[in-house]
Structure 1
Amino acid sequence: MPSPATPAALPAARRYHEIDAARGLMLVLMTLTHVPTMLTDPVGQPFGFVSAAEGFVLLSAFVCGLVYGRIGYAKGVDAMQQAFWRRAVTLYMSQAALLLFLFTVITALALKVHLQSPGARELILYYLAHPREAFAFALALVYQPALLDILPMYILFMLMSPWVMAWAFRHGWRLPLALSALGWLAAQLDATPWLYATVMQGWLKVPVPYAETGSFDTLAWQALWFGGLALGAGRSAPGARPIALPAPWVRTAVAVAAAGLLWRHLGPGGQAPFADHHALNTLLFDKWRLAPLRVLDLVAIGIVALHYGPAWLARLPRMTWLETMGSASLSVFCTHLVAVLLVQALWGGDHHVRPWWGDVLMLAAVFGAMYAVAWAVQRHERRSGKRRGTCPTPRHAPAAGH
């Protein structure tokens, strides 16, 4: 690793309000997607064939590279690794709390005779059939019930990141990113189910079926994470220069992003690009495996945001309510999951069971709770900072971060 840079050699630390706002927006879009209402389908993937999950992972990885990279350059690899691992422990405790809520409160609601909700029961079918195995392997992050499969992925990435960044500090990012790209390519060839069957079920005799290990293909999504991590770490490096995008890249990105946006909203399939052609949808646009055209659309949107975003933001008023939620994203993310689980248990996954005004009231309650939690977290951090005699600046962390 390069010798620790002096504070003057490092890029000036500053608050990235725009990233907080973007993460807050991703939380809003996730909530609208997960809470079954009349807005679920129209608002899903609003910018093209890219969901809030991809944006959240990319932003979170970028912030991790930025923040923990700065720690690595200023204090050394050991301090950086400890910061990563402390964060991973926080994420794990959050996941454990969500699992406990699912296996107690939600299970009790789902099993009541007058609340026989298919939506909630589908989330816990494996747990109901194999409670002991499900509980043990859920804590081991192998069994991942639907909706609770995001934090385990983050925990794994947080545990891997300090080793990858330590290597990159010494030798550069080419090898880690090349290996990451190979992992993504292997995922497109269905390597993940084969690896799970061979290693986890064959060698380790894990009884959990592959279908119960979460929707996200970790071998594919790690490429998005480490790409964002490299970008963030590059911004924290001594002597980092602003990102300059060649004009042909920008023009191509605008064309691709515009095509994706129009295709998503005017095409015959809506969120399914090729309508009923499931094989093509899976091969080219699958979300869980980050299929090639989905990645292309995401990269194009990212380039457009990098190039034009600062000018757009300069003309818009700051959305402090989004910044507040984005700066407390772990707490807000968990709150949104609790709300979604309760809605599934009480009403199921069919948004037709409520009139439009019922959806409005429910969303108002959910977003009100999310903002209240974010406000309380921010207030707590400010008070803690005053007691320590420091200027409190809410920390940046991954989606599963603050």
Structure 2
Amino acid sequence: MRRYEIFDGFRGFFLIFMAIAHFDGLLRTWVGVVHHKNFGWVEDAQGFVFLSGLVAGMVYGRRFLAHPSVREAFGRVFARARQIYAHQVTLILLALGAAFALGTRAPVDFQPYLDAPVTFTAGSLLLVSSSANMGILPMYIVFLLVTPFAMKLLHRDMVAPYFALVILAWLAAQTSLTGKGMYALENYFIAEGIPARFGLFFNMLGWQALFFSGLFVGFRFTEGRLNLDFLDQPQFRVTFFIALGGMTLLGIFDLIVEFRLLGEGYTERMLLRSPRAVLGVVYPIAFLIDLFIVVWLLRNGATDPLAWIRRLSAGVNWFFTRPALVLLGRHSLHVFTFHIIVYYALAALLSFYSPSPMGRELLLVAGIASLYLCAASRSWWLARARPATV
């Protein structure tokens, strides 16, 4: 299958800014203040999960359509899930080893491994727990294992049941009952005298809505049935301008909440009404608005009567097909894993060393640069291992 560079470019962009957000949580640099995650209730993790589903629908959908068997498809996705699980296990064991090596000097990100080493490590290996910034890979593993059954529904044109299940699961997440169940299990172990820490930073029932929406798009694209001609209607050009206004208003609202401009009480109420962990209602709405803007702009913007829209369309297409972004996106699993290693290495370093403000900026730049080193090294290794053609 021909790779679509712009998808890799978007994934590379999301990886960079996820890493910046995570590294800045430790370093507190000026870049973190101007990060786009603070404008509009749309974060890089949302785009990354959606695109992961879309690419899965394209890659595994093509193979499924050639041999429409759930058993065969499960074998293929299981191989990929096993590879991702190996990355997750590596991260868990590295964090566990580092926590014990640091001992009393261990920063807060390592504490779960010290507070409840057996239950937390076991929970992490069973994909029901994770430490800071390690929640995406467990989600992706579970979503991949469900993918063959999802593709079977789509192949049978059972679109309504497909999205009914997606919506029902998302609604179940909004109850937060799964989180309460994990806390109850944690408290049970503690009452029995066993230190315990459970819970993921992402509720899978909520975040699956992004992955399986992306899977639907990718699968329909592979079938040759993704028809976006309806976007040529004049009403959707009007909708584009409305969506731009909506994105701007949501961005302003996000800043109001982020900087607590209307007081602590209002801010807390808003955060409780739309929690990120379960993909509360503001997040998917804001994501759909941004997704519509990008899709319409890339598809229709190049021929729009307004010159600034044509230039914006060309600029978006140019930016997200830059080789630097495409390289990162093409090796997204390894880059994501490596950025977690860099994050925990930074956390360990900062427990011994207090850099100057300029030193913190330089550490952030070095951390981002290291992602390119990871991607370039893997690209070189794969090219070296590829048989030479005559």
TM-score, length basis structure 1: 0.81
Once the two structures are TM-superposed, the CA of residue 260 in structure 1 deviates from its matched residue by 1.7
Paired position in structure 2 for 1:216? 202
Paired position in structure 2 for 1:95? 88
8 Å contact kept, 1:61–1:225: yes
Q: Give 2:166's aligned amino acid.
A: S
Paired position in structure 2 for 1:396? none
2:335 to 313, 332, 335: 332
Once the two structures are TM-superposed, the CA of residue 304 in structure 1 deviates from its matched residue by 0.2
Cα 1:238/1:196, change in 2 over 3 Å: same
Name whichever of 87-96 and 289-298 sits farther off.
289-298
Alignment of 1:308-327 (within 5 A): 308-310=297-299, 311=302, 312=312, 314-315=314-315, 316=318, 318-327=321-330
2:223 to 220, 226, 237: 237
8 Å contact kept, 1:273–1:281: no
Post-superposition CA distance 1:85-131 (Å, at most 9, x none): 1110011000000001101124413x25xxx25xx2x2233321332
Post-superposition CA distance 1:36-87 (Å, at most 9, x none): 3312233150551111111111111111111111111123334432221111
Name whichever of 233-242 and 277-286 sits farther off.
277-286
Once the two structures are TM-superposed, the CA of residue 188 in structure 1 deviates from its matched residue by 1.5
1:80 to 49, 67, 73: 73
Paired position in structure 2 for 1:346? 349
Paired position in structure 1 for 2:17? 29
Q: Provide the alpha-carbon RMSD of the alignment.
A: 3.0
Q: Give 2:85's aligned amino acid.
A: Y
Q: Give 2:112's aligned amino acid.
A: Y
8 Å contact kept, 2:61–2:219: yes
Distance 1:47 1:107 in 2: 38
Q: Give 1:253's aligned amino acid.
A: A
Once the two structures are TM-superposed, the CA of residue 382 in structure 1 deviates from its matched residue by 2.6
Distance 2:352 2:313 in 1: 36
Cα 1:31/1:302, change in 2 over 3 Å: same
1:256 partnered with 2:246: yes
1:364 partnered with 2:356: no
Alignment of 1:125-136 (within 5 A): 125-136=111-122
Cα 1:218/1:314, change in 2 over 3 Å: same
8 Å contact kept, 1:106–1:341: no
Cα 1:145/1:208, change in 2 over 3 Å: farther
Distance 1:303 1:219 in 2: 24
Aligned pairs, how many?
Answer: 364
1:269 partnered with 2:272: no
Paired position in structure 1 for 2:138? 152
Once the two structures are TM-superposed, the CA of residue 333 in structure 1 deviates from its matched residue by 0.5
The gaps in structure 1 that reach 5 residues or longer are 1-12, 391-402
Share of identical aligned residues, percent? 26
8 Å contact kept, 2:115–2:195: no
Q: Give 1:54's aligned amino acid.
A: Q
2:296 to 296, 307, 320: 307
Once the two structures are TM-superposed, the CA of residue 242 in structure 1 deviates from its matched residue by 3.5
Paired position in structure 2 for 1:173? 159
2:276 to 271, 278, 287: 287
TM-score, length basis structure 2: 0.84
The gaps in structure 2 that reach 5 residues or longer are 303-311
1:70 partnered with 2:58: no
Name whichever of 318-327 and 237-246 sits farther off.
237-246
Q: Give 1:327's aligned amino acid.
A: R
8 Å contact kept, 1:34–1:40: no
8 Å contact kept, 1:71–1:79: no
